[in-house]
Structure 1
Amino acid sequence: MKNNITILISLFIALNSFSQNISTEVLNKTKIVGKNLIQQKDIVANEFVFNERIYRSYVDSLTGYATLQLRKLSKNGKVLSLKGLVVVYDLKNKSVKWTKKIDYSMSSIQQYGDILILSKGNKIIRLNIENGDPMWDIKNDLYYVNINKKIGVGYAYNGLTGSIHTLEGINLNTGESLWQKELKRDYGWNKIIKTDASNLLIVAGGMHSLNIETGSGWDYETKTGKKDYTETIAKNVGGLVLGALTGTYVVSSGSNLVRDVLSNTIMDSTNIYMASKEKLACINKSDGTVTWSYQLPDESTSKSSLIVRDSSLVLINKGYAFWRDKTIDFGDPFILEVNKLTGAEIAFKNLMEKDNPIVDYKVKNDSLLLLFGDKITCFSLQDKAIKYTKTFDSETYGNLTFFSGDRLYTKNTDPELHYNLLSDSTHYFVQTSKGKTLKLDKDFNELKTFDFDNLYLIQNTINGHKFINQDNSTIILDSNNKPIGELSLSFYFRIINNTIYETNENSLLEIDLNQLLNTDNSDEF
């Protein structure tokens, strides 16, 4: 009896920022959001209008429920209210399941399928998706969830004097601990790679294999950042905001931590290849033993990219790293090539670019094209030397930011209104910080300049149809790049089981793609 009372009191305290059900109204209506250009028919959406702005949303295709986090925005559009609502809405039956108040300064909500997790301080609480009632609570901080197996992985809270590196597997149905192991997070978590239904590779202070059911696995430890690097942070405090092209999932640790000093991961049937701040290594996939390693220069090594060239590995050291959500100058750009089987050095080239990092690269035959903020350098992978460099005036173009073209479309001027991919084998396309896309010849001479705002970015592909977007307009192309439909949608919609979901201010749109694609295939993105 005492234990039951203790649990009830604990849950009451934990939920003091997540109040009981309150009533709310949702307006249901239909809205014309586009046109089927083949049949010349309107495309109609179900629109669900809530009484406050939608801050975040999640749609579970299995239950058909949408979880909406509502949060007001200040009149100047810059400050979010600390208080709001969580609404679970039944899209099929068009009814509110439950609604509760939430204080975002103390709590947050995450959802994984039908698993709804409330986080508050050092505690996580699973809420019943049907009624919002608490099912269990534990002191943990989830880092990963496997929806199918109903297993979570996170760090157990062991008190102020306990270890902060105790990783724990959690049965998400009961909240019970499945296993515990030590996995250091001094440099944060950089990446999670799912290798099969039960196993992960975790890149965090090295690389770790993990069976989420048993906690077993090997550990390869190395430095993937630098702690308390105050001098570099102060120097770079005005650094560029982290771009969307990094594709890296990071949980940072410590206000003075310089992180993500590592490369991408390359795997073959036997080995894993990865560079850290300390070394480039070949790691055996089965047991984590190091087959070979190459010691990297301590003061120069930074964020890097690793590519395979026949029997060799080429490391592109970029000369930057991350602090919080900013890029900072860190290390120096260099090119390293080693033998893939032995790790023996083939070539090393310091590019002599202090505080001028490589922002992007592209491989073209035997050439490695390196994009800096102010120039493009062509490095010969065959001769191991710089072939030529082209400088661009920053006053005219701004900073060069990335190679574009592979995801960009432009409208053709012919009567059919076809759209063409802004990419071909004979030209290069480069994006600039002034919103320009430069078309360059093989010697990087400018041939044409496009205004980025007039180009279309591919958002998704389904059943051979491409969804390309410009501002709040989405065009659907067939396999011949001919437009078959148009929708008034931003870039940030989601496609789940042939249905589009998009939130805009205080409304959620639901669009059945069978109005356009005439297919019953179910593909989830």
Structure 2
Amino acid sequence: MKYFFIFSLFVCLTFTVLGQTQMNYYKSFVKDLGISATSIKTITAKTYSLSSPLYDYQSDTASNQLIFSTRKKDPSGRLYINKGFIAGLNCATDSINWLYESLRFDLNLTGDFLLFSNDAKTSRYDKKHGFEVYDFKDRVVYAIPRNSSGLTYEDPKKPDELTCISLLNGTVNWSASISHKEDWMDVKYLNDTTIIIAANGLHAININTGLIWSHALVTAEKNQKSLVYSVVNKSNVQKVNASYKTTKEDNLLTHLGSNILIDGDVIYFGSKEKIIAVKATGELLWELDLKELPISKMILTKSGSAITLINLGLSQFKDNYVLYGKPFVMNIDGATGKINSQSKFTSSESLIDFLPQKQSYLLADKKNIIQTNSNNESFENLIPLDDHKYGRFVEFINGDEYFVEKEGYYVPLNFINDNVVYFKTENNKVYGVDKVDVQYEYHYTELFKRDKVYKDKTVIFNYKNTYVINKNFELLATLNLVEQSIVMKNKIYFFGGKMLYIVDLDDL
């Protein structure tokens, strides 16, 4: 009886201390968040006040958890410091399953494995309970859930040796000579077992056995002059390829190349000095010399038998885009590598944004919107932007993602006319161009951007509120917040700074 009492007391004290410890990191309460448009009832949300701002998050349907990390900032509020915590939120009960202090904040859920990383190291954690299970020697650059492995540069004595390790216990599966010096520009699966990597060249690896073939290329250079930072739309540029930081160099201009373009059993890739076309076996079909051209970050696309190269006039320096080279468009025969045509971006202004169309690309600087022609062979001026009439260009607006209120209904801009190109200018106006004429004009504050879709409900927001509408574009609810969000089953989780709000979408 005495031992049972001591054990019971120990368990009680353990959970009391754990509860008090967790209370230092968050507080939970219920908060009024908005109002229903159909029943005039108040919408409430379970709310968490966190001790440090949200840094990264991901939903895990297997464990029914929302896993996230928080990270403190310095007194200026601009820079992150290495202090925070990681946690798992039970999405059935909306309670914290586990919470631990951490020095690693970059989250990667891959298959059954939960990884957290910083710039130097990656560790694997138990998904159910959150504790650290295995500490890898270096940062896992790329995880491969299909065979529970990860790619890393773990041997400091062999900095250009890529190692494939087991995510279970760190066992080395294979090694290959693939340099880390120029960052990975892109990664694509060729099939279930073959990955193509653009990293200081173009490489094919079998995820189980290692390197299949390799072509050395240049995709970066050391910076030797002053730089001009670009105001290009970063989110659009980042969609071009799936890049991964690997270089330790601090003074390097990277991303002097293209995305990986796969067409059947042929792989195309553009580097600083050449474009190559390679068969899946590694056989070089052709190469096109680009040394005399102002090459920079590029987009490769294919239409029919032709390859289109759009040179963006950008490079990446650390975490920023800088002006490099000059924009141009080139049309290339996909079978032979022969240049069909080439056209310069004649504007003296630097590129701000670009937008893929069905048969062409739109590019814009602050004074002009320019379109590649139907064969992507040259540029055509779509509309000049008079400073007094329109204001200077800021960004393209996706007509499927932005909504406007019309007679009580919230409809996408493209619902009205899907042949329109929308763009925003510095005067906070949004204009719609049909062919070459401006047909639509809105103030940016009139518009709502699509956030999430759940069953027949769509979540949209503007500068001050979030709205939930149904499939008929009718308003269901208004929420008094504007935050990033994630949908997990029937609930939407809003993260804003140090706050987390949970709303049941089935109740709206």
> TM-score range with shorter-chain normalisation?
0.7 to 0.9
| Equivalent position amino acid for 1:473 in 2 | N
- Aligned mates of 2:434, 2:316 — CA distance in 1: 33
Alignment of 1:173 with 2:168, yes or no, is yes
Distance 1:140 1:55, change over 3 A: closer
Match of 2:397 in 1: 404
Q: Is the 8 A contact 1:332 1:357 kept in 2?
A: no
Q: Does 1:208 align with 2:203?
A: yes
| Equivalent residue, structure 2, for 1:523 | none
Match of 2:234 among 238, 243, 247: 243
CA contact (8 A) 1:116 1:129 kept: yes
Deviations 1:358-391 (A, max 9, x none): 73145476x6543223212344445955554643
Give 3-state SS (helix, strand or coil) of 1:245's partner.
helix
CA distance in 2, matches of 1:283, 1:261: 19
Tell me how far apart the structure 1 counterparts of residues 207 and 195 of structure 2 sit (CA, whole Å): 7
Alignment-derived partner of residue 139 in structure 2: 141
Deviation at 1:188, TM superposition (A): 0.3
Equivalences for 1:490-509 in 2 at 5 Å? 490=482, 492-509=484-501
Distance in 2 separating the partners of 1:493 and 1:509: 9
Q: What is aligned with 2:330?
A: 336
2:365 is aligned with 1:372: yes
Equivalent residue for 1:54?
54
- Choose which of 414, 427, 433 in structure 1 pairs with 2:420: 427
* Corresponding residue number in structure 1 for 2:432: 439
Distance 1:326 1:384, change over 3 A: same
Answer yes or no: is the 8 Å Cα contact 1:153–1:212 preserved in 2. no
Give the aligned CA root-mean-square deviation in angstroms: 3.4
CA distance in 1, matches of 2:52, 2:300: 46
The 1:198/1:387 distance shift into structure 2, 3 A limit, reads closer
The alpha-carbon distance between structure 1 residues 458 and 121, as it changes in their structure 2 partners (threshold 3 A), is closer
Tell me the residue number matched to 1:112.
Answer: 109
Contact kept, 8 Å, 2:124 with 2:134, in 1: the verdict is yes
Distance 1:39 1:470 in 2: 23
Q: Measure the CA separation in 2 of the matches of 1:429 and 1:167.
A: 45
**Aligned-partner Cα distance in 2 for 1:148–1:419:** 41
Structure 2 residue aligned with 1:269: 264
Distance 2:363 2:53 in 1: 43
Which amino acid is the alignment partner of residue 143 of structure 2? V
* 2:148 maps to 1:150: yes
Secondary structure, aligned partner of 2:210? coil
Letter in 2 for 1:257: L
Q: Which moved more, 1:297-306 or 1:110-119?
A: 110-119
TM-score (norm 2): 0.82
Question: Alpha-carbon deviation of 1:421?
Answer: 1.9
In structure 1, the gaps of 5 or more residues are 1-19, 517-525
Letter in 2 for 1:344: K
State the shift of 1:152 in Å: 1.7
Q: Does 1:293 align with 2:287?
A: yes
Report whether the alignment pairs 1:349 with 2:365.
Answer: no
1:305 aligns with 2:294: no
Question: Contact (CA 8 Å) 1:378, 1:388: kept in 2 or not?
Answer: yes
Name the residue aligned to 1:4.
none
Q: Does 1:187 align with 2:178?
A: no
Match of 2:14 in 1: none
- Identity over the aligned pairs, expressed in percent? 20
Aligned residue identity for 1:334? F
Question: Which position in structure 2 is the counterpart of 1:461?
Answer: 453
CA separation of 1:168 and 1:496: change in aligned 2, threshold 3 A: farther
Q: CA deviation at 1:476?
A: 3.4
Letter in 2 for 1:240: V
Please say if residues 471 and 491 of structure 1, whose CA atoms lie closer than 8 Å, have aligned partners that are also in contact.
Answer: no
**Aligned partner (choices 270, 273, 284) of residue 278 of structure 1:** 273
Where 2:340 maps in the other structure, the secondary structure is: strand
With over 3 angstroms needed to count, the CA separation of the structure-2 counterparts of 1:385 and 1:242, relative to structure 1, is: closer
Residue 21 to residue 203, structure 1, CA distance change in 2 (3 Å): farther
Cα distance, 1:35 vs structure 2: 5.1
1:187 counterpart letter in structure 2: E
Alignment partner, residue 14 of structure 1: none
Tell whether the 8 Å contact from 1:407 to 1:457 is kept in structure 2 after alignment: no
Q: CA deviation at 1:409?
A: 2.8
Provide the rounded CA distance (Å) in 1 between the counterparts of 2:377 and 2:231.
Answer: 31
2: CA distance, partners of 1:94 / 1:463? 21
Aligned ranges for residues 452-491 of structure 1 at < 5 Å?
Answer: 452-463=444-455, 465-490=457-482
Aligned length: 483
Task: Give the Cα separation in 1 of the matches to 2:287 and 2:371.
Answer: 28
Q: Distance in 1 between matches of 2:34 and 2:498?
A: 20
Encode CA deviations 1:473-508: one digit per residue, 9 max, x unaligned.
333344443334444453521123343222233333
Maintained 8 Å contact 2:233/2:395:
no
Cα drift, residue 142 of structure 1? 0.6
Q: Return the match for 2:443 from 421, 446, 451.
A: 451
Shift of 1:146: 3.2
Match of 1:392 among 367, 385, 391: 385
Match of 2:100 in 1: 100
Superposed CA deviations along residues 72-104 of structure 1, whole A, max 9, x for unmatched, are: 4566644545433334444545655544334x5
Contact 2:450–2:461 (CA<8 Å) still a contact in 1? yes
CA drift at 1:149:
3.9
SS, match of residue 21 in structure 2:
coil
